[in-house]
Each structure stands twice: as structure tokens, then as C-alpha cells.
Amino acid sequence: SAVISQKPSRDICQRGTSLTIQCQVDSQVTMMFWYRQQPGQSLTLIATANQGSEATYESGFVIDKFPISRPNLTFSTLTVSNMSPEDSSIYLCSVQLAIYGYTFGSGTRLTVV
């Protein structure tokens, strides 16, 4: 299956700052997904990033808060902007491969203080 590398694995950030999370895949993929997992909760889809087009955001998530880049078929970034303590979560990157279904990275654990 696909191997996904996420950086950083964890970070502690000051409120009002921004953090960019990187997702690198060892295969070329069309669709990449970004999820948020709040403490003790399940996964919620933030947006879908297709190479060469603007990301599509789910209800409750906006581009100004969570800008996404998708420069090529193996890489994407998610930025969490103007952070507040409510943004403390695990952020996960995921890809879909026809044979292997959906694969997830190990996540970025963000704490905002």
C-alpha cells in the first residue's frame, strides 16, 4: 500500500500563529484528503485536494482558515491559520489508491497554547 509521511509529527504553537503540515506520498495519487480528529473524537473531513485545482472544503471549514496547496501528485500541505486553543487536534493526511483503498498518515498532533 501507499506510504505517507507527515511532518511535523507534533507541535506546540502559540495562539494567533500559523502551522503548515506537510504530506508526502510514495506514489502518484489524484486525490488527497485532510482530516481533523479532535480529542476523543472521530475523524472529520476538512477538504479534498486534487492536483491542479482548488481544494474542495467541507461544511464548516474555509480556505482562509485552512489553506491547502497541492503542487504535484505526491505532495500536499495544510496550513492551520491564526490558531486558537480550539484548533488543538490531530490532523491527518489520506490518499486513495484504486487497489488499496484509503491510506492514512500517522498524523500531526497540534497543541495550541
Partner 1 sequence: EDQVTQSPEALRLQEGESSSLNCSYTVSGLRGLFWYRQDPGKGPEFLFTLYSAGEEKEKERLKATLTKKESFLHITAPKPEDSATYLCAVQGWNNAGNMLTFGGGTRLMVKP
Candidate residues 43, 65, 79, 88; the one interacting with partner 1 per rule CB under 8 A: 43
38 interacts with partner 1 by CB under 8 A: no
97 interacts with partner 1 by CB under 8 A: no
Candidate residues 12, 58, 62, 72; the one interacting with partner 1 per rule CB under 8 A: 58
Candidate residues 11, 45, 65, 79; the one interacting with partner 1 per rule CB under 8 A: 45
Give the per-residue SS3 of the chain.
CCCEEEECCEEEECCCCCEEEEEEECCCCCEEEEEEECCCCCEEEEEEEECCCCCEECCCCCCCCCCEEEEECCEEEEEECCCCHHHCEEEEEEEEECCCEEEECCCEEEEEC
Q: Which is nearer to partner 1, 14 or 60 (CB)?
A: 60
Candidate residues 18, 28, 38, 102; the one interacting with partner 1 per rule CB under 8 A: 102
- Shortest distance, position 60 Cβ to partner 1, whole Å: 12
Q: Which is nearer to partner 1, 14 or 42 (CB)?
A: 42
Distance CA 70, CA 60 (A): 21
Q: Which is nearer to partner 1, 75 or 104 (CB)?
A: 104
Distance CA 80, CA 108 (A): 12
